[in-house]
Amino acid sequence: MNNKGLPVDKKERAISSKFAVKIKQAREKKGYSLKELAEKIDSSASYINRLERYERKNPTFSLFILLSEALEIDLWELLHIAVEEKEAETKSVDAILLQNNFSIRGIDNVSIDAKTCFVDIIDMIANKLDKRCDFKDFLQLGEMIRRLHEILDNDEEVRKGA
């Protein structure tokens, strides 16, 4: 947990493995032992070793600064290397909505039926409603929204009875 009591996603904050390789290469190029580098940045040799082996993946920003100075690597280059592999994988909206929990109308963790209906509505809006659509398309969309509200009402009743 962070200092505000919110959970921290360590995977999301993790640096790239290229950072570990860069640190080790730069240390060896300078001719520093793990202990020598650790002394320069006021850390421990075991911590540097774990960074280099990609066992420690969440160094502090101050450590970036210290490593940058000790190894004579541009700080911005080092930061860029650390986040380089962190390009987000692209997921479809359908996958995001179906695989994750969310709330609608204050109902937490809506049912799979509600999620599926909601995905169908978004698909209709994003992919089928364009300048060629007619009143039948809007009627269909209205029916889909009505159906979603029925499902949500049912979900709410089930939760109240539980």
> What is each CA distance from 62 to 74, 79, 82, in whole angstroms?
14, 12, 14
Q: Is 61 left (phi over 0), alpha (psi -120 to 50) or beta?
A: alpha
pTM, full prediction: 0.47
How far apart, in Å, are the Cα atoms of 2 and each of 16, 149, 151, 154? Answer: 21, 37, 37, 37
Domains of the chain listed by start with CATH number: 10-86 (1.10.260.40), 93-161 (no CATH)
Q: Which spans in the chain are helix H?
A: 10-13, 17-30, 34-40, 45-52, 61-71, 75-83, 93-99, 112-123, 135-161
Asked if the model's pLDDT at residue 85 lies above 60, the reply is no
Q: Is the Cα torsion angle 112, 117, 120, 121 positive or negative in sign?
A: negative
pLDDT digits (tens, 9 = 90+) for 4-27: 554 444 555 678 888 888 999 999
pLDDT tens track for 105-154 = 888 888 889 999 999 999 999 888 888 888 899 999 999 999 999 999 99
Structure tokens belonging to residue 47:
């911590």
Confirm if 84 and 128 have CB atoms less than 8 A apart. no
Q: Among candidates 140, 144, 149, which has minimal Cα distance to 104?
A: 149
Name the phi and psi angles at 23, rounded to 5.
-60, -45
Mean pLDDT score across all residues of the chain: 85
19: burial class by Cβ within 10 Å (0-12, 13-18, 19+)? buried
According to DSSP, residue 126 is labeled I
